[in-house]
Amino acid sequence: MELKRVVVTGLGAVTPIGNDVPTFWNSLIQGVSGAKPITRFDASKFKTQFACEVKDFDPNQYFDRKEARKYDLFSMFGIVAAKEAVEDAGIDVEKVDLDQIGVIFGTGIGGIKTFAEEVASFVQNESIPRFNPFFIPKMIIDILPGHVSIMYGFRGINFSTSSACASSTHALADAFNYIRLGKANIMVAGGSEAAITDVGVGGFNALHAISTRNDSPETASRPFSLSRDGFVMGEGAGCLIFEELEHALARGAKIYAEVKGAGMTADAHHMTAPHPEGLGAINVMKSALKDADMQPDEIDYINVHGTSTPLGDIAETKAIKGVFGEHAYNLNISSSKSMTGHLLGATGAVEAIACVLSVQNDIVPPTINFTEGDEDPEIDYKLNFTFNKAQKRPVNAALSNTFGFGGHNGSIIFKKFAK
């Protein structure tokens, strides 16, 4: 069968560097760090006392008090991002087939704050087992796409993906595939996470996965630097509206970019560490290129996973050179996580937005926090990591990488739209 073409017609974001897409994009281009001391709980006894929190997010601005009681913070972030994306896409529910609009959101952890609070309350009062009636629906990872569909009456495909840090890239890949197979006209797709809690930070501390650079939070996420000591936790949500091309043209929708291809692979190597030669990353980028029917030299920009971990950054650079060969030196590469921190299950959607806007605006966001003299001998600095300053250049096509614990890999390619 002939596959349908898929385009991006709406964007929404709630991030540590902006609670809407224009603010997020401007901060990204300006190289703004979202890392600050943690305010959500008393982190003074933790090894890590900072994170990239979403700032100035007042639930009462978006939800009435009674309604807000039904949502964990991860759902709130996702709902707000979805609202922005749907509005940006100009979707009029009176003029579209609601049976042909679906919702897929990814999350790595879901309602961890709700779960921890309810369990703590039970332990403290175990003689009287009282639980919030919204405990389960607030916590479960599939509830966010359910909320979005209920809000708008979208009756199409609806579920959640969970593959750690690849969760929302997998959500986007699924949404893309359903549309081009003719199973939906529009998909509301993205990811959300709100794991900056005592148990979230404590758990990642126990894994030695996150930075402990408490004396300088803003510079702690430093991908591709020798002194990197782990990722910085982030939170937030990203949402993209994917739409079948003819459907978008028929309703006069603005088109940001075309979705060209997606890949999904597994490392089959280790629970938390990447394959040392980047084998899974190589395979997933090759898979995305094959799916897009594109050659490596057609990619201009890669928004890398680039978490600022000792092993991950090395493996990813090896993978890029393995896939792109000499063209790797013509690419721009950058890590949004140097500014946003690592949004875990939401990271793929937020970084996909960065790719879409790079394609639209012909500008590549920087990788901040690199200083000369901090080079890692295992990293090839002939590659253009777009250090510290955004770079204007033609961006006809951009690729986004995300890799998750368990060896889950996802890549997706966006290209300038041409009829």
Catalytic residues: 165, 305, 342
How does DSSP assign 13-65, residue by residue?
A: EEBTTBSSHHHHHHHHHHT----EE--SS--TTSS--EEB---S--HHHHS-H
- Can you tell me which residue has the tokens 């063209």? 327
The first and second tokens of residue 228, run together, are 């990197």
Find residue 196's DSSP bridge partners: none
What's the one-letter identity of residue 401? N
Other C-beta atoms closer than 10 Å to the C-beta of 108 total 27
**How many C-beta atoms surround the C-beta of residue 49 within 10 A?**
17
Taking alpha carbons only, the member of 44, 136, 154, 59 closest to residue 99 is 154
Question: CA 304, 86, 361, 165: dihedral to nearest 10 degrees?
Answer: 0
The owner of tokens 């939170």 is 235
Instruction: Name the DSSP letter for residue 388.
Output: S
Q: What kind and span of H or E run contains 258?
A: strand 257-266
Dihedral (C-alpha) 160, 163, 168, 170: value to the nearest 10 degrees? Answer: -90
